[in-house]
A and B are shown apart, each in its own frame.
Chain A
Amino acid sequence: MSLSNDDVKQIAHLARLGVDDQDLDSYARELSNILAFVEALGGDETDAVEPLAHPIDMVQRLRPDAVSEENQREHFQAIAPSVEAGLYLVPRVIE
């Protein structure tokens, strides 16, 4: 699988990741190399194999659906780039 510069742009957009135009060539080349490397996984010998998401057989722990955390909004917002009246500020989304 070889990726074009346009492919890289599209993937970067999906990841909301700014990539400079001048770096597109090198990303396309490096990502293509990495994908070529992982193609070793190819072949159909795994068709009947169940995917493994977790190395140890265990089930997700459950807990009662009750509030377990205290409100620490001010504490957590103290490290935010921009807040006002308990809200995180971002550029206007709706005109």
Chain B
Amino acid sequence: MDTVSVHDKTVAELAAGLAAGTYSSEELTRDCLQRINGIGSELNAFVTVAEEHALTAAREADRRRARGEAGLLSGIPLAHKDIFCTNGIRTSCGSRMLDNFISPYDAHVVERMQTAGMVMLGKTNMDEFAMGSSNENSFYGPVKNPWDTTAVPGGSSGGSAAAVAARLVPAATGTDTGGSIRQPAAMCGITGLKPTYGRVSRYGMIAFASSLDQAGPMARSAEDCALLLEAMAGFDSRDSTCVNQPVPRYSETLDADLKGLKIGLPKEYFGEGLDAEVARVVDAAIEEYRKLGVEFREISLRNTHLAVPAYYVIAPAECSSNLSRFDGVRFGHRCENPRDLEDLYKRSRGEGFGAEVKRRILVGTYALSAGYYDAYYLKAQKVRRLIRDDFLAAFGEVDAILGPTSPTVAFNLGERSDDPVKMYLSDIYTIAVNLAGLPGMSVPAGFAHGRPVGLQLIGNHFDEARLLNMAHRYQQVTDWHTRAPEAFA
């Protein structure tokens, strides 16, 4: 069969093409696989390419369409971050610990996308256990940024972001604990949405920090993110924090008028530490929004400076507890010839985890240990309330909040890997959103120093529809989201 070239199309365009019979799902799938294994291979965006699985699913989607049973997303290819369990296909979470792990079940998100008829192409590279902001913490090596292969793609969903940016796949899933969808989306020039905590089920999504983790879509446009979120979101009794609330038809409110909308600009997000060129790009986006009738006002999120410190107590504490399940007994890596049970635990974990994961387990264990719990964990949980209350007060005055996604553009590979604290500051504008459980989005808004800049939109709880509407209207009057890296155009 000849391959068709459709990599420049969005999910919405592919859905129309499939419905019109312009191409089949099998043709689309072959085109994507060819790009992943060919031009895209240097990016190291995939840990596993599930070629046979994808072609079987594509043919099934084509048969269903022939029978008149196709849904909107039927037959459209998709990649999953390797944190989502996939039945029968390796789920590594970017770790040596799970290099041999074949999940015995599917994550809820994987099930949902499969039910929608989407074709899974493979599993994308990521920072080990989603801990990182550069994708350099993967057991499978760093992912490269398609805009400049000497730059990081951001993290932890770096493989998903790079794959979408390089037009290897039309869409991918990601997870966001402190910015892991939004920051790589910004650095790779794509659109990514972290939904409200509890909007999407965490069942089968390998846990890092359970009170912060949330799954969401990464694609080329807000319209695509709306279609994908409609398929992903919804109640699942297997996640005790999944919220039982109807899922709005996000794609039906994309065109709503923005006139009179009040948007807050947090002064703390435009101060020291923000790259001047990035600030210039954000200012230009603000001007575009003014033309659309949006009113801006300055707001203050006065505890912003405490967000990263609070996060680096809470996230490691939860991680040290969650990752205690990896003990070399029931699944995952086991050391050779353990002397006794303690040796089995210690060596299996010592060999299976990489440096950043170990650091966080140690910090979390310390923060939760007797005598230090009040000083660190309890204190951080109190600060968490202050941070959430700042946002709730702001949403009494404004409909949404806007600012940069990240203080800088993508940095160079290796540039920050020796300084954990400096790396943590890359997420300074995204982390508070997770602590407050709010939805946040990153939208391509231009370039600085030749690399993409993301605009962050933050909404009130369960206000994803407004963020998608705001992003879509912006994308109708700008073309930043349609730009492709030259080498992958």
- A contact set with B: CB distance below 8 Å: 3, 8, 11-12, 14-20, 27, 30-31, 33-35, 37-42, 46, 49-56, 58, 60-61, 63, 72, 75-82, 88, 90-93
Contact = CB atoms under 8 A, between A and B. Distances in A.
A11 B372 CA distance: 12
A30 to B, nearest CB: 6
A34 B359 contact: yes
At the interface, is chain A mostly helix, strand, loop or mixed? Answer: loop
B312 A56 contact: no
Interface in B397-430: 420-421, 424
At the interface, is chain B mostly helix, strand, loop or mixed? Answer: helix
Nearest to A62: B240
A74 B344 CA distance: 23
**Top 5 A-B residue pairs of the complex, sorted by shortest distance between their CB atoms:** A18-B350, A55-B437, A51-B381, A52-B385, A81-B334
A88 B332 CA distance: 13
Interface string B329-354: 11110100011111111110111010
Given A34-B421, A49-B386, A56 B381 contact: no
Contacts of A90: 329, 338, 341, 344
Interface string B288-312: 0000000000000000011011101
Contacts of B331: 79-81
26 contacts: A8-B362, A11-B369, A14-B369, A16-B345, A17-B346, A17-B349, A19-B350, A19-B358, A34-B421, A35-B366, A38-B309, A41-B306, A46-B379, A49-B385, A54-B437, A55-B197, A56-B196, A58-B243, A61-B240, A63-B237, A78-B104, A80-B330, A81-B329, A82-B334, A90-B329, A91-B340
Contacts of A19: 350, 358, 362
Contacts of A51: 378, 381-382, 384-385
Interface in B364-387: 365-366, 369, 376, 378-386
Nearest to A52: B385
Contact of B385 (A17, A34, A41, A50): A50
Contacts of A79: 101-102, 104, 331
A75 to B, nearest CB: 5
A46 B211 contact: no
Interface string B439-463: 0000000000000000000000100
A75 B105 CA distance: 10
A46 B353 contact: no
Contacts, number: 161
Interface of B: 101-102, 104, 196-198, 211, 237, 240-241, 243, 305-306, 308-310, 312-313, 320, 324, 327-332, 334, 338-347, 349-351, 353, 358-359, 361-363, 365-366, 369, 376, 378-386, 388, 420-421, 424, 435-438, 461
Contacts of B361: 15, 17
A55 B436 contact: yes
A40 B331 CA distance: 39
Contact of A54 (B211, B237, B382, B424): B211
A52 B197 contact: no
Nearest to B421: A37
A63 B436 CA distance: 27
Contacts of A50: 382, 385
Contact of A41 (B197, B198, B350, B379): B379
B332 to A, nearest CB: 8
B331 to A, nearest CB: 5
Contacts of B237: 61, 63
B381 A52 contact: yes
Contacts of A30: 359, 420
Contacts of B346: 12, 16-18
B292 to A, nearest CB: 30
A53 B435 CA distance: 10
Contacts of B380: 38, 41
B329 A80 contact: yes
A54 B243 CA distance: 13
A38 B307 CA distance: 10
Given A37-B421, A80-B330, A16 B349 contact: yes
Contact of A53 (B211, B329, B349, B363): B211
B385 A16 contact: no
Contacts of A91: 338-341, 343-344
A31 B385 contact: no
B381 A41 contact: no
A57 B475 CA distance: 34
A33 B420 contact: yes
